[in-house]
Amino acid sequence: MKKLIGLFIVSAALLSCSKSDDYLKKGKEAFNQKNYELAIANFDSVLQLTPDHAEALATRGSARYNINNYQGAISDYTKSIEHWPKDSQNDAELGKIYADLADCYFNVELYDAAIDNYTIAINKNNNLVVAYSGRGDAYILKSNPELAQPDFEKAISLDPKFASAHYGLGNVKFDQKDFAGAIPHYSQAIALDPMVVKFFMDRGDAYYMTEEYPKAVDDFTSALKLDPTYAKAYVFRGDAKDEQGLAQEAIEDYNKALEITPGYGLAYYNIGITKQRLKDKAGACDAFKKAFGAGYQEAAPFAAACK
């Protein structure tokens, strides 16, 4: 009887393992098809059978990341790291999980935690381009461009075609107020990946700061072609047009921004500044009051002067 019980236990364990592997396979297939909800459901089934399954935890973390569930992803990646096989042969893969965990912390604006985890990722896998570039981005947001620069340069040395690292170097120069120096790096990022809105926005901003207003207009227009609902691009393009004396075109852009984002304080404020210069006191006052009503504090003295 004892032998039969033992055989039953072994058979049940094998069946559980088989089911777990089947759910894992289905989860991976769903993930590769970008059906993240279905992937998560299958990984849930794996983890009900095998709670410490490191691969299922890590991949469920990635699925949660892709639906912007960063806290859930943080939990999964952290548990996956706890159960990941601890030997040097697995360090490269473990480094990738630390980098993914760092990305989650970055997205919830916990930049110190992101930097710490990118650093661990690099220590475990010093060829991780995304970890160097990600840590550089975190340093930028921590106002440490001098620490960011070597990370972006390292990322580029590992992969010269990694557009985000070139963009990061542009941000280093921009933060250092070397606006002209930022432009070639932004241009390289755009050449490598011309489908990223922020690349055009930031190069346009750099052109604006160097008073190359027609080029700034072109970049903000390119950003709007990629994302016609980007209200900020209309405002920035309006500013660049206004600097060229194209006041009415600028106001049209500010109004387009307001169509997309009603109550956009900066757009109202810029309309006020432009109309004030055009000697349209009533129009300027109306715009300044709306800007202040929308919470744009810089409009306060202008709105007060309209009383």
Q: Mind listing the pLDDT tens digit for each residue in 263-282?
A: 999 999 999 999 999 999 99
- Give the H/E segment covering residue 231: helix 231-243
- Using the predicted structure, report yes or no on whether residue 15 has a pLDDT greater than 60: no
| Average pLDDT rounded to a whole number, residues 256-264 | 97
Nearest to 43 by CA among 89, 88, 80, 5: 80
What is the predicted pLDDT for the residue at 88?
Answer: 59
Residue 161 has what DSSP assignment?
Answer: T
What is the predicted pLDDT for the residue at 90?
Answer: 74
Domain locations in the chain?
23-84, 263-307
What is the predicted pLDDT for the residue at 229?
Answer: 97
Q: Mind listing the pLDDT tens digit for each residue in 97-134?
A: 999 999 999 999 999 999 999 999 999 999 999 999 99
38 and 18 Cβ atoms separated by less than 8 Å: no
What is the predicted pLDDT for the residue at 17?
Answer: 60
Nearest to 272 by CA among 240, 250, 244: 250
CATH 1.10.10.2120 fits domain 23-84 = no
Alpha carbon separation from 74 to 1, 23, 47, 131 (Å, rounded): 47, 22, 16, 16
Nearest to 165 by CA among 139, 177, 176: 139
More confident residue, 170 or 13: 170
- Give the H/E segment covering residue 155: helix 145-158
If 0-12 CB within 10 Å is exposed, 13-18 middle and 19+ buried, where does residue 74 land?
A: buried
- Using the predicted structure, report yes or no on whether residue 2 has a pLDDT greater than 90: no
- Percentage of residues in the chain having pLDDT higher than 90: 89
What is the predicted pLDDT for the residue at 279?
Answer: 94
Six-digit token string for 247: 């006041």
How many residues does this entry show for the chain? 307
CA-CA-CA-CA torsion sign (43, 44, 45, 46) = positive
205 and 216 Cβ atoms separated by less than 8 Å: yes
